[in-house]
């Protein structure tokens, strides 16, 4: 202001604004997005469609090297209406920004797969409805579990890689007549692979209800002939101790307990100051029907298969290959599950700082 005179009217100029809903649905807007959206942007849109909501921290963990680069790029996506956002109320401090798929982003995903937006099962009001859903904290917690594994995959070296991540809705599509897991994942190392169903406990359900879920997994194992581990993630070791007692009681009563391998872990076992704390660490304690106590070694995710020597390795890739078209048409999830790992930035994008 001292060396350069600023005219008052320039202070009133509007900053670059967000496109209106009508403009975002226009052919011109879609043409503009074609020249600006990167492969990583489209991957992020697919991830939001699959998993409903991601916080700014989760997006950074999943795809960006820093908070600054994540904020800059997601702001662009927001201004283009590729994503929408909200910030939940929080008693102390402020919650991170939460992002959902926006109308322009849904149009891009649909066009990429030769579909109409309505065939995706997408509606903007429903996407934003998660802001008031009583399961918002649970959904964000499940997504935290998996995005921390993605961050470990991207930055943690040779410990392993997350190669499959299915949402609760996709799990319900496949297994909902027997049991609905909170998610499905697959972790791969250089010499082995382990898959699992996730039960994410926030401490609000009764422990009896947590234990009863094992009966559904037993029916699923009997139906498919596949023994898939069930990993139960709990908020504290105290809660874990009570859950293990409830789980062991039900587990012992199953017709064939070996078809339902179970392991538990607690969030407070992680070291918050570690570079990339994640469920990949040695926090998993297998459950046996005879021992519900917390004694015994804890396993890393990569070594968890050692706890069940007779467990068969996962069969085939963690995709939906082999599904019939009829099944896909009947489901709002017509898109394949996105890869958990974002595509690499191209050299010209790196040169311009879009890491």
Statement to judge: residues 123 and 142 lie in one domain: no
Q: Confirm if 262 and 213 have CB atoms less than 8 A apart.
A: no
Would the pLDDT of 64 be above 90?
yes
Statement to judge: residues 201 and 312 lie in one domain: yes
- Of 234, 227, 82, 33, nearest to 145 by C-alpha is 234
Per-residue pLDDT tens for 252-267?
999 999 999 999 999 9
Residue 45 lies in a domain: yes
Q: What is the pLDDT of residue 274?
A: 76
CATH code of the domain covering residue 97: 1.10.10.10
Statement to judge: residues 31 and 74 lie in one domain: yes
By DSSP bridging, strand 183-188 and strand 193-200 are: antiparallel
Domain tally, the chain? 2
The CA distance from 99 to 120, in Å, is 18
Statement to judge: residues 124 and 141 lie in one domain: no
Helix (H) or strand (E) holding 31, with range, is helix 27-36
Predicted confidence band at 58 (pLDDT cuts at 50, 70, 90)?
Answer: very high
Statement to judge: residues 33 and 163 lie in one domain: no
Statement to judge: residues 123 and 162 lie in one domain: no
Structure token digits, residue 316? 């085939």
Range of the domain at 118: 15-133
Statement to judge: residues 68 and 180 lie in one domain: no
Predicted confidence band at 69 (pLDDT cuts at 50, 70, 90)?
Answer: very high
**pLDDT, mean of residues 231-242:** 96
Per-residue pLDDT tens for 128-162?
999 999 999 999 999 999 999 999 988 765 678 99
Per-residue pLDDT tens for 283-303?
999 997 545 555 678 999 999
């Amino acid at each position: 202001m001292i060396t350069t005179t600023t005219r008052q009217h320039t202070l009133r100029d509007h900053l670059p604004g967000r496109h209106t809903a009508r403009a975002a649905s226009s052919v011109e807007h879609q043409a503009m997005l074609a020249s600006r959206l990167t492969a990583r942007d489209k991957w992020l849109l697919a991830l939001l469609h699959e998993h409903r909501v991601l916080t700014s921290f989760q997006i950074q963990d999943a795809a960006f090297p820093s908070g600054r680069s994540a904020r800059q790029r997601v702001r662009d996506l927001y201004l283009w209406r590729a994503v929408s956002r909200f910030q939940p109320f929080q008693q102390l401090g402020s919650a991170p920004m939460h992002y959902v798929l926006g109308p322009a982003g849904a149009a891009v995903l649909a066009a990429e797969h030769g579909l109409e937006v309505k065939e995706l099962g997408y509606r903007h009001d429903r996407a934003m409805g998660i802001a008031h859903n009583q399961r918002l904290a649970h959904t964000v917690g499940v997504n935290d579990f998996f995005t921390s594994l993605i961050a470990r995959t991207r930055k943690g070296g040779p410990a392993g890689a997350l190669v499959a991540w299915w949402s609760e809705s996709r799990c319900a599509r496949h297994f909902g007549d027997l049991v609905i897991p909170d998610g499905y994942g697959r972790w791969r190392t250089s010499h082995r692979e382990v898959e699992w169903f996730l039960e994410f406990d926030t401490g609000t359900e009764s422990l009896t209800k947590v234990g009863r879920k094992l009966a559904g997994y037993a029916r699923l194992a009997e139906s498919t002939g596949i023994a898939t581990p069930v990993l139960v993630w709990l908020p504290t070791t105290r809660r874990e101790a009570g859950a293990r007692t409830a789980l062991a009681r039900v587990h012992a009563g199953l017709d064939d307990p070996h078809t339902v391998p179970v392991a538990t872990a607690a969030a407070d076992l992680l070291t918050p100051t570690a570079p990339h704390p994640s469920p990949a660490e040695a926090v998993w304690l297998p459950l046996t029907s005879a021992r519900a106590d917390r004694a015994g070694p804890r396993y890393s995710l990569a070594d968890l298969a050692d706890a069940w020597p007779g467990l068969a390795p996962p069969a085939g890739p963690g995709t939906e290959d082999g599904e019939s078209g009829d099944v896909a048409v009947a489901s709002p999830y017509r898109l394949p599950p996105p890869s958990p790992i974002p595509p690499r930035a191209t050299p010209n994008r790196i040169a311009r700082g879009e890491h």
